[in-house]
């Protein structure tokens, strides 16, 4: 049972435009959500997080939105840059949980 789903395996965006990556979850206990970015031959690196008491969190060009009623979160990157080309994973957890549950990942390609 895939509790965290990223339904788009890939996304292609023009440089300077907005990139929107989506993630859905099924477990209503999740209250902490994270996005990770992964380059080839490297480990995932933490990008941004949001707790369920908020519906938006910003960090520079990156904004994460959380819609608890729809069990949906999204990552917006504005403006997109070539260095943003990577695989993005969303992940979820809850207080007291021993693990992060990851989605399948979305490969973002930024075209010049």
Phi and psi at residue 105, to the nearest 5°: 100, 150
The phi, psi pair for 35, rounded to 5°, reads -120, 135
d(C-alpha 57, C-alpha 63), whole Å: 6
Lay out the site mask for other proteins across 23-52 (x = CB under 8 A, - = otherwise): ---------x-x-x----xxxxxx--x---
* Choices 10-18, 59-67, 70-78, 98-106 (CB under 8 A): range interacting with other proteins: 98-106
Instruction: Please choose, from the candidates 30, 35, 40, the residue with its C-alpha nearest in 3D space to the C-alpha of residue 6.
Output: 35
Nearer to other proteins among residue 43 and residue 112 (C-beta): 43
Binding site for other proteins (CB under 8 A): 4, 6, 9, 32, 34, 36, 41-46, 49, 89, 91, 93-105
């Amino acid at each position: 049972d895939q509790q965290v789903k990223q339904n788009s395996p890939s996304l292609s965006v023009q440089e300077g435009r907005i990139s929107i990556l989506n993630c859905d979850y099924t477990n209503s206990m999740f209250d902490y959500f994270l996005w990770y970015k992964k380059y080839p031959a490297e480990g995932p690196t933490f990008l941004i997080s949001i707790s369920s008491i908020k519906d938006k969190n910003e960090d520079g060009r990156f904004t994460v939105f959380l819609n608890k009623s729809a069990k949906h979160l999204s990552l917006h990157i504005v403006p997109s840059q070539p260095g943003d080309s990577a695989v993005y994973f969303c992940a979820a957890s809850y207080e007291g949980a021993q693990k992060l549950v990851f989605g399948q990942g979305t490969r973002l390609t930024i075209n010049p």
